[in-house]
Amino acid sequence: MIRAGQIVSLLALVFFLSHASRGLAAPKSPQESSKSPTNSQITFNKDIAPILFHHCAACHRPGESAPFPLLSYKDAKSHARQVAAVTQSRFMPPWLLEPGEFKFADELRLSDAQIATIAHWVEQGAMEGAPSDLPPSPKFAEGWQTGTPDLVIKAEKPYLLPASGSDQYWNFIFRTPVSRTRWLKGIEVRPGDKRVVHHANVLVDRMESARAQESSPGAGFGGMEIKIESEAFDPDSHFLFWKPGTAPYTEPDGMALRLDAGTDLVLNIHLQPSGKAEWIQPSLGLYFTDQPATRFPMLLQLENDRKLDIPPGEKNFLVTDEFTLPEGVQLLAIYPHAHYVGKDLQAFVKFPDGTQKSLIHIPAWDLNWQAVFRFEAPVELPAGTVISMRYRYDNSDENIRNPNVPPKRVVGGNRASDEMAHLWLQVLPHSNPGETGDPRRILQEAMARHNVDKNPADFEAHYNLGAMLQGRGDVAGAEKQYAMALSIRPEDATVNNAIAGANLAAGHPDAAITYLQTALRSRPDYFDAHYNLGTALAMLNNFAAAVEEFRAAVRLNSQDANAEANLGAALAELRNWKEARAHLEKALAIDPTLANARDNLEQVKRALPNDPQ
């Protein structure tokens, strides 16, 4: 087994939830009145309560994110002008999308008529009206919104949000205590004080790659965007997103998310100081299902961060990307992402017959209200459909959210003062993984090729394409991509390890060793490189050196069955039967299905009684 990872240029990503099934048992949206609302006396009970209960109460109730409740006439009256002003400006309810060709689930947008009704109600004196007109109060579940979780995990250490200052981004790593593979149908995020937590993303970290950023285990770490490494083929599949007023999204049957033992969940949260210091210690509620996944969505990313180089004063800087689908898919959800200079975000699809439709349009981007938007019905995109994004940026002083005063050159990057141009799409391929291969591989490879074409100087693009080609057995193609990556970053540990892996697969352990030595110079605690170096040395029958490398590997990861098994095998070659037996037994304790380890253990046991020592 050769180890190589994929570098995923992930942003704070992977979300579940989203705003689906928002107001739980809230009443249905009132019908829009066709007659002019000025004709009659507008009252809270008759006209306003239905709007507030349906569109506002999910957040405007005690314990939720909004600063005051809107559940009664008294509540509404004491904020009447405020409600009129913020609905008029469409600051509230927060819904960034222009109405477009496709409908989204749980749309929070008020109609023009509803906004006019609120304005007229205030002008007429904000009257209460007849008690008999008042609809029943909306009902909300107490505590966990999706019922008692199967497992609750709490952040090990709280984070202290200061009383004042600009927005903060913090990451909590949850070490999931599952001992076998489970299937997750939902994650409910309890972020802590909802008045300061603006939104949160959960990222699945299958390789514990984020832990290196913690100063001590459980401490968490700062940062707006984080990077997660993943196995060569295990594409991200689900959006795990939380924003205020949203009930958790439960995945449909057959679309559960795999959670293996040793997987970390990283919660990336956006916090806004409120005027007083707050301790934030979130919890996650996990909901399992016995049904393994039978349908496999994946996340596609359009992006063009390298084109982000926005001069100060520029008001309308355009960044685009477009990708042609090699396979037919259903588009389930969409997540546009930019930072503070983002202005107008739009995405389109062009069908093979030439017709074009707008997928999503955010004319006044506001990072604070970013969200995953789920389509009300899946959007069918046949093979050959071109998906494109057109993002515009305002780096002038007219953009009051501009992080630089006066404006400065802004480039792509992970910090809040950098910019991003990302469009994530959750798609479900028309065909399932089967005899003709996994459609996600085809999508991922096409995406990787697209990235290489787009940015020939992009190290990660070459590396990722190489990993994909290697994954499907195209070793020569992989080596070519790795060589390109290596020409950009000659000392990079990951690519040196990967190119060594390709050499091992091609039966060239000698060549592999040189690359692995470079990898370990750059990153001495690189488990995969020690493992692969041990394998290369063993292939050359240098078992004494191989044992040292496997020992280093198991010191770095004591739970890897293959490393233990190979250490045992190499020790057996050196006739160190006793130690060989201990490591082979350990390998089998971790993974009882390892056939080689079982065979080797049998041989070692047979050798042991004859051992003169």
Partner 1 sequence: MARAVMAVTLACLFSIYPLLGRQTIIDIHGSADEVLAQSRGKVLVLVFVRTDCPISNRYAPLLQEMNKMYGPQVSFRLVFPDRTESTDKIRHYMQEYRYELSAIRDLNHALVKRTMAKATPEAAVFDAKGQLVYHGRIDNLYEHIGQVRRAATTHELAEAIEAASKGLNPPVSTTEAVGCFISDLE
Pairing of strands 373-381, 329-337: antiparallel
Per CB under 8 A, contacts with partner 1 among 352-411 are 366, 368, 400-401, 403, 405
Q: Which is nearer to partner 1, 166 or 593 (CB)?
A: 166
Q: How far apart are CA 460 and CA 5, in angstroms?
A: 12
Residue 406: asked if its preceding bond is cis (omega within 30°), the reply is yes
Per CB under 8 A, contacts with partner 1 among 325-344 are 340
Q: Which tokens in the block code for residue 579?
A: 């130690």
**Does residue 93 belong to the site contacting partner 1 (CB under 8 A)?**
no
What is the per-residue binding string for partner 1 in 491-530, x denoting contact by CB under 8 A?
----------------------------------------
Interface stretch with partner 1, choices 113-121, 272-280, 541-549, 580-588 (CB under 8 A): 272-280
**Does residue 274 belong to the site contacting partner 1 (CB under 8 A)?**
yes
Residue whose C-alpha is closest to residue 251's, from 152, 185, 319? 185
Per CB under 8 A, contacts with partner 1 among 433-452 are none
Place of tokens 């009447």: 80
Q: Which is nearer to partner 1, 282 or 403 (CB)?
A: 403
**Does residue 147 belong to the site contacting partner 1 (CB under 8 A)?**
no
Pairing of strands 283-289, 151-154: antiparallel
Q: How far is the CB of 59 from partner 1 (least distance, A)?
A: 12
Q: How far is CA 341 from CA 96, 407, 421, 423, in A?
A: 16, 10, 10, 16
Q: Which of 276, 357, 521, 578 contacts partner 1 by CB under 8 A?
A: 276
Q: How far apart are CA 210 and CA 32, in angstroms?
A: 49
Pairing of strands 257-259, 356-362: unpaired
Alpha carbon dihedral 191, 194, 200, 206, in 10-degree steps, equals: 0
Interface stretch with partner 1, choices 73-81, 224-232, 301-309, 440-448 (CB under 8 A): 73-81
Q: How far is the CB of 245 from partner 1 (least distance, A)?
A: 15
Q: How far is the CB of 277 from partner 1 (least distance, A)?
A: 9
Residue 290: how many CB atoms within 10 A of its CB? Answer: 8
Q: How far is the CB of 93 from partner 1 (least distance, A)?
A: 12
Collapsing DSSP states into helix, strand and coil, what is residue 38?
Answer: helix
Residue 7: how many CB atoms within 10 A of its CB? Answer: 21
Burial of 28 (0-12, 13-18, 19+ CB in 10 A): exposed
Q: Which of 77, 449, 508, 523 contacts partner 1 by CB under 8 A?
A: 77
Q: How far apart are CA 189 and CA 195, in angstroms?
A: 14
Core vs surface per residue 34-55: b (16+ CB within 10 A) or e: eeebeeeebbbbbbbbbbbbbb
Place of tokens 């709007």: 51
What is the per-residue binding string for partner 1 in 49-68, x denoting contact by CB under 8 A?
------------------xx
Q: Which of 20, 29, 86, 208 contacts partner 1 by CB under 8 A?
A: 86
Q: Which is nearer to partner 1, 87 or 283 (CB)?
A: 87
**Does residue 79 belong to the site contacting partner 1 (CB under 8 A)?**
yes
Burial of 414 (0-12, 13-18, 19+ CB in 10 A): middle
**Does residue 82 belong to the site contacting partner 1 (CB under 8 A)?**
yes
Q: How far is the CB of 256 from partner 1 (least distance, A)?
A: 37
Interface stretch with partner 1, choices 7-15, 247-255, 268-276, 512-520 (CB under 8 A): 268-276
Q: Which of 38, 63, 81, 415 contacts partner 1 by CB under 8 A?
A: 81
Q: Which of 195, 258, 315, 489 contacts partner 1 by CB under 8 A?
A: 195
Residue whose C-alpha is closest to residue 55's, from 77, 37, 78, 71? 71
**Does residue 130 belong to the site contacting partner 1 (CB under 8 A)?**
no
**Does residue 164 belong to the site contacting partner 1 (CB under 8 A)?**
yes
Q: Which is nearer to partner 1, 371 or 461 (CB)?
A: 371
Q: Which tokens in the block code for residue 5?
A: 């990872």
Q: Which is nearer to partner 1, 276 or 606 (CB)?
A: 276
CA angle, residues 326, 327, 331, in degrees to nearest 5 = 115
Q: How far is the CB of 47 from partner 1 (least distance, A)?
A: 18
Residue 153: how many CB atoms within 10 A of its CB? Answer: 20
Q: Computed over its alpha carbons, how large is the radius of gyration of the chain?
A: 28
**Does residue 295 belong to the site contacting partner 1 (CB under 8 A)?**
no
**Does residue 213 belong to the site contacting partner 1 (CB under 8 A)?**
no
Give me the phi and psi of 230, to 5 degrees please.
-135, 165
* Number of residues lying near partner 1 (CB under 8 A): 27
Q: Which is nearer to partner 1, 44 or 174 (CB)?
A: 44
Residues that bind partner 1 (CB under 8 A): 67-68, 77-82, 85-86, 89, 91, 163-164, 166, 195, 273-276, 340, 366, 368, 400-401, 403, 405
